[in-house]
Amino acid sequence: MAEEDETVPVTGRIRDKLVETKQAWARDGRLLTGTQLDPSRDRLPPGQTLVKDWPVLDLGVQPDVSPDKWRLRVEGLVQAPVRLTLPEFMALPQTELVNDIHCVTQWSRYNNHWQGVRAKDLIAMARPKEEARFVSFTSYDGYTTNVPLSEFVADEVLLAHSWEGAPLTRQHGGPVRVVLPRLYFWKSPKWVTRIELLRDDRPGFWEVRGYHNNGDPWAEERYG
């Protein structure tokens, strides 16, 4: 992690029992219904329940990333590595999107209003090399996850700094988090600081603990 990232204070510690419980869910196939739905026809993925609030879920660690300390790096298999402060990030073209989000713990929330920078615009700045196929994310709490590059540059994917007209709170991943609405929300890391483009896939924190590598809610790819 970059030198300036090391000064970010972190409270709490990883809740080992929570991690063990979720690994057991993966082994047991908890919450699976065995149903597949079509996202073009079915808005609510199988096994999901609608909520009105936005539950706070994390590993037990919450970094306190002040605006002056936040940095974002886009590196790896790129021709022009990107390094941004928060003011530089906010100066990029901004986009407002509305989408639904789906958590693997069985809740979904409709019509979330986001503001931020489209992932495809950020990646275009970095000019990916031809062999780049995958993305690995790293967050300030040490969390990692992964997606195909083609998934990350979809039109609806955002690096969001605001939700419902207000800056993202620390609890929900502020100053900036990833929003990948087509996948279960563990694929949308909070407190993102590093985006690395790779030739080969690199499974992240939950993926190496029994969770599905793709995470499509309508195919019910909770575990794999």
Banded model confidence at residue 3, pLDDT cuts 50, 70, 90:
very low
Banded model confidence at residue 9, pLDDT cuts 50, 70, 90:
confident
Domain extent, residue 173, equals 3-209
Q: How many domains does the chain have?
A: 1
Banded model confidence at residue 6, pLDDT cuts 50, 70, 90:
low
Domain for residue 217, yes or no? no
Q: How far apart are CA 166 and CA 175, in angstroms?
A: 11
Domain for residue 112, yes or no? yes
Domain for residue 214, yes or no? no
Domain for residue 215, yes or no? no
**Structure confidence by residue, pLDDT tens digits, 176-185:** 999 999 999 9
Domain for residue 223, yes or no? no
**Structure confidence by residue, pLDDT tens digits, 196-205:** 999 999 999 9
pTM: 0.93
Average the pLDDT over 106-134 and give the result.
98
Domain of 70, CATH number, reads 3.90.420.10
Domain for residue 175, yes or no? yes
